[in-house]
Amino acid sequence: MILLSITENIHNWLFSIMPEGVASIVEMVLIAVVYLTIFAVAGLFLVLLERRVAAWFQLRIGPNRVGFQGLLQTMADAIKLLTKELTGTERADKFLYNLAPYFVIISALMALAVIPFTKEFHAFDINIGIFFLIAISSIGVIGILLGGWSSNNKFALIGAMRSGVQTISYELSVGLSLLTMVVITGTLQLSEIIEFQKNGWLIVQGHIPAIIAFMVFMISGTAETNRAPFDMVEAESELGAGFHTEYSGMKFAYFFLAEFINMFIIAAIATTMFFGGWLSPFGITESIPWLGVFWFLAKTMGLVFLMMWFRWTFPRLRVDQLLTLEWKYLLPINLVNMVVMALIVWLNLTIRF
C-alpha cells in the first residue's frame, strides 16, 4: 500500500506540473535511476554475501573489518576500482573493447526490469515476460564474446568462445524448463503467473515434473551465469581471468557486477516461476501487500544461497563434460519432462488448494 501510494502520488504530481509527454519521459528516467540504484546496491551486496558465504564454507571468517561485519567492504572495493587506471592492450579493437561491458550490463538491467518485486513494484509488465527474459538473458553473452574477441588476448578469446558454446547449449535447457512450467500456467505474463500461484506454488502444483524442471533450471541457470562449477569462461587456473583478462578498473567492475546481477536474475526467475514470487507462504501476510518485497527477496536470497552452496562444493567441469551433461542428460530429461507435465495438466492431476 505504501509503495503503491508513493508511486501513484509521484505519478499524479508529475503529470499535474508538466505536459504529458515530458512527464512520461521524466517518469521513465526516474524509474531508470531507481533500477540503476537497485542494480548497484544488489550487486555490491551479493558480492559481499558471496565472500562471506564462501569464507564460511571454507572455515574462514571473511571480510569483517570495513563497517559492521564488513558491510561496507564491497563499497570500498568499488571506490578503489573507480580510481584505478583503465588499461588496454595494444592493437585491441578499441570500439568493441569499450562497448563490451555495456552490453553485459544493459542486458542484465533489461532483465531486471521485467522482474516482479511485488504487485506494485514491477517496472515493465510485458505480456510475453518469460519469453523476454529468456531472450534477454542470452544477449549478455554477446558482451562476453565481444570483450574476449576485441581484447587481442589468447586467454580472453578462448574464454569467450567457451562462453559462447556454453550459453548456446544451456539456453535450450533454461527455455525448456521454463516452458514446462508455462504448460501449467498457460500464460507468459509474469504478474499473471504469480496470480495463478495463489492456489499453491507451481513447484507444489506441478509436483514431480515441476521439481525435475526446477533442478534442471537451477543447473542450466548456473551454467548460463558462467559461475562455478560451470565457470569455463573464467577458469582462473587455466585462462588467467578468461574473457576479462585485459579489463581493469571500472570496466572490470561492470563485468563483475553483471555476473552477480545475472545470478540474482536467475534466482529471481526461479522464485517467480516455481516459488510463487512475492506471494507469502499459505497467504499469511496477504493483508499487507508491501511485505511482498520481503518475501520475494527472502526466496531469491535462499536460491542465491543454493547457487553459492554448489559453487563452493563442486569442482569445475571439463568442456566435454559440460556438453555431455547438457546434450545427453538435461535436454532429453527436459523434453520427456515436458510431455509428462502436459499429460498431468491434461488429466488434471495438478495439486491445488
Partner 1 sequence: MSYFSDIYKGIKTLLTGMSVTGKYFLTSRKGAITQQYPDNRDTLKMFDRFRGEVIMPHDENNEHRCTGCQKCEIACPNGTIEIIWDRGIDEVTGKKKKKIDQFVYHLSMCTMCGLCIDVCPTDAIEWGQNFENSVYDRSALTRVLNKPGSKLMPGVED
State which residue, 158 or 304, has the beta carbon closest to partner 1.
Answer: 304
Ramachandran quadrant class, 348 (left: phi over 0; alpha: psi -120 to 50; beta: rest): left
- Check residue 53 for interaction with partner 1 (CB under 8 A): yes
> Mask 4-43, x = binds partner 1 (CB under 8 A)?
----------------------------------------
Report the distance separating Cα 246 and Cα 248, nearest Å: 7
Question: Do residues 223 and 166 touch, judged by C-beta distance below 8 A?
Answer: yes
State which residue, 57 or 102, has the beta carbon closest to partner 1.
Answer: 57
State which residue, 10 or 61, has the beta carbon closest to partner 1.
Answer: 61
Among 311, 314, 250, smallest CA distance to 49 is for 311
- Check residue 57 for interaction with partner 1 (CB under 8 A): yes
Taking CB under 8 A as the binding criterion, the range among 23-31, 57-65, 113-121, 124-132 that sits at the site for partner 1 is 57-65
Q: How far is CA 28 from CA 121, 235, 238, in A?
A: 14, 39, 44
Question: Do residues 53 and 308 touch, judged by C-beta distance below 8 A?
Answer: yes
Report the nearest approach of partner 1 to the CB of residue 61 (Å). Answer: 4
Taking CB under 8 A as the criterion, the residue among 333, 340, 342, 345 binding partner 1 is 333
Q: How far is CA 252 from CA 84, 87, 164, 211, 259, in A?
A: 11, 10, 19, 37, 11
Question: In 10 A of CB 75, how many CB atoms?
Answer: 16
Taking CB under 8 A as the criterion, the residue among 61, 79, 335, 339 binding partner 1 is 61
DSSP structure string for 189-228: -HHHHHHHGGGS-HHHHTHHHHHHHHHHHHHHHHHHTT-T
State which residue, 203 or 257, has the beta carbon closest to partner 1.
Answer: 203
Would you give the DSSP letter of residue 329? I
State which residue, 59 or 347, has the beta carbon closest to partner 1.
Answer: 59
Report the nearest approach of partner 1 to the CB of residue 50 (Å). Answer: 13
Query: What ranges in 235-290 are assigned the alpha helix state H?
Result: 236-239, 249-274
DSSP structure string for 75-124: HHHHHHHHTS-----TT--HHHHHHHHHHHHHHHHHHHHT--SSSS--S-
Residue 273 in grid coordinates: 516461476
Q: Which residue has the cell 491445488?
A: 352
Question: Binders of partner 1 among 269-328, rule CB under 8 A?
Answer: 309-310, 312-314
Residue 146 in grid coordinates: 565481444
Question: Do residues 185 and 192 touch, judged by C-beta distance below 8 A?
Answer: yes
Distance of CA 232 to the CA centre of its chain: 18
Report the nearest approach of partner 1 to the CB of residue 19 (Å). Answer: 56
Taking CB under 8 A as the binding criterion, the range among 50-58, 80-88, 175-183, 257-265 that sits at the site for partner 1 is 50-58
Taking CB under 8 A as the binding criterion, the range among 52-60, 124-132, 186-194, 203-211 that sits at the site for partner 1 is 52-60
State which residue, 60 or 154, has the beta carbon closest to partner 1.
Answer: 60
Question: In 10 A of CB 35, how many CB atoms?
Answer: 17
Residue 187 in grid coordinates: 500464460
State which residue, 56 or 327, has the beta carbon closest to partner 1.
Answer: 56
State which residue, 218 or 266, has the beta carbon closest to partner 1.
Answer: 218
Report the nearest approach of partner 1 to the CB of residue 54 (Å). Answer: 10
Taking CB under 8 A as the criterion, the residue among 23, 49, 55, 345 binding partner 1 is 55
Task: Give the number of residues in contact with partner 1, rule: CB under 8 A.
Answer: 15
Report the distance separating Cα 193 and Cα 17, nearest Å: 37
Among 189, 185, 177, smallest CA distance to 128 is for 189
Report the nearest approach of partner 1 to the CB of residue 330 (Å). Answer: 10
State which residue, 13 or 314, has the beta carbon closest to partner 1.
Answer: 314
Report the nearest approach of partner 1 to the CB of residue 56 (Å). Answer: 4
- Check residue 336 for interaction with partner 1 (CB under 8 A): no
Report the nearest approach of partner 1 to the CB of residue 315 (Å). Answer: 9
Binding stretches for partner 1 (CB under 8 A): 53, 55-61, 309-310, 312-314, 329, 333
